[in-house]
Amino acid sequence: MGSVTAPQTITTDAISLHPPVDDDAQLVAELMDVPVSADRPAQIVRGWREHWDEHGYGAWIVQDADGRRVGFVGLRSHPDFIRVTIRVVEGEGGDDLAAQALRLVVGHSLEWLPDLPLRIRVAPEDIATRFVAESAGLVHVPDLDHVVDGDEWQVLELPYVRIADRIPPRAREAMLTMWVEVNDAGGAVGFVPGASEEQVAAVLDGYAAKLADGSTVCVALNSPLGELLGFGFVARATGATVAHTANLERIMTDPARRGTNHGALLMAGLHRGAREMGVELVTLDYRGGTGLGEFYTRYGYTEVGRIPGGVRVAPGDDRDGVIMARSL
């Protein structure tokens, strides 16, 4: 297996994130509304850099598409969880930048950071931050709410991934229900709408042998409150020459909760699971005409093959079978 380390910068068309440098004291001073000559901003940046050195992760500085530094997403290690904080300069589009930055950071965290709960705390009246957190997939866990020095805090936690070599009976039921719902909603996971539970169960149960012999793992995304949010499989190729590759299969999220970053979190979990198996190159396929190529391109995939008319969705409705790949 290659010794792959977590990337230290994350870049999209709209924003980029990087670890702090001394110059970022200027930004911190602005966010705190104090002069940059005050000690505190430089101390904060030094603390962030020490955290990076000690843990290999920490606060990210957020830059917009024009290269302006507009805020930070902090990650701080605690004994049994990782705290995330977020702050962007006020102004038009600030909340949108914050949401994009947080979405990227939580996906990266799920893929690379120690397997600990990731939590954010929000004052009950801070609707904007709560909205940003929820749009990145975090879920309010009332049991974790608390009061510090008279201030009330609500705690939201990121869904977590379970990478498993078997499917427990309760999980099987939830997966089966979701798979049938995804088919009926037009999802492209091996069936056409209206497929019966028995037909789906046969394919789901077919994974049991592959899980048992270690060639495949099941990756499930779960809410901190216990519900299944999505799942998929990492199926290693068989054969000595291709054992460093795997195919990602049956990628799906709960149709009732789309657009809350669960797809991104699931992809992060699948990549984590694949790396843990020693996989270095992943492939996947999708049906043409679903727009899914754009979704996967965001996660580093490139189209490497297309079989014209290779998927028959219904008589007279043939779609291309499209193959994508990326290295891990």
Ligand X SMILES: CC(C)(COP(=O)(O)OP(=O)(O)OC[C@H]1O[C@@H](n2cnc3c(N)ncnc32)[C@H](O)[C@@H]1OP(=O)(O)O)[C@@H](O)C(=O)NCCC(=O)NCCS
The stretch among 13-21, 33-41, 72-80, 187-195 that binds ligand X (CB under 6 A) is 187-195
d(CA 6, CA 259): 26
Selection from 53, 25, 51, 52 nearest residue 39 by Cα? 25
Binder of ligand X out of 48, 121, 261, 288 (CB under 6 A)? 261
217 contacts ligand X (rule: CB under 6 A): no
Binder of ligand X out of 169, 291, 308, 315 (CB under 6 A)? 291
292 contacts ligand X (rule: CB under 6 A): yes
262 contacts ligand X (rule: CB under 6 A): yes
Measured at CB, which residue is nearest to ligand X? 263
The stretch among 3-11, 141-149, 151-159, 285-293 that binds ligand X (CB under 6 A) is 285-293
Q: How far is CA 113 from CA 31, 95, 105, 121, 281, in A?
A: 27, 25, 10, 19, 20
Given the complex with ligand X, which of 129 and 135 has the nearer CB atom? 135
Q: What are phi and psi of 214, to 5 degrees?
A: 85, 0
Instruction: State the amino acid at position 226 in one-letter form.
Output: G
Binder of ligand X out of 41, 74, 187, 269 (CB under 6 A)? 187
253 contacts ligand X (rule: CB under 6 A): yes
Selection from 323, 221, 324 nearest residue 263 by Cα? 221
d(CA 188, CA 43): 51
Cβ at position 233, least distance to ligand X in Å: 11
108 contacts ligand X (rule: CB under 6 A): no
Given the complex with ligand X, which of 45 and 86 has the nearer CB atom? 86
What is the total count of residues that contact ligand X (CB under 6 A)? 20
Cβ at position 159, least distance to ligand X in Å: 11
The stretch among 20-28, 45-53, 138-146, 290-298 that binds ligand X (CB under 6 A) is 290-298
Binder of ligand X out of 81, 112, 131, 295 (CB under 6 A)? 295
For the chain, the 3-state helix, strand and coil shares in percent, each to the nearest 5, are 35, 30, 30
d(CA 170, CA 135): 28
CB count within 10 Å of CB 212 equals 11
The stretch among 65-73, 151-159, 202-210, 256-264 that binds ligand X (CB under 6 A) is 256-264
Q: Please tell me what DSSP assigns to residue 256.
A: G
Selection from 21, 10, 252 nearest residue 109 by Cα? 10
182 contacts ligand X (rule: CB under 6 A): yes
Q: Which residue has the tokens 């947080």?
A: 102
Q: Which residues bind ligand X (CB under 6 A)?
A: 182, 187-189, 251-253, 258-264, 286, 290-292, 294-295
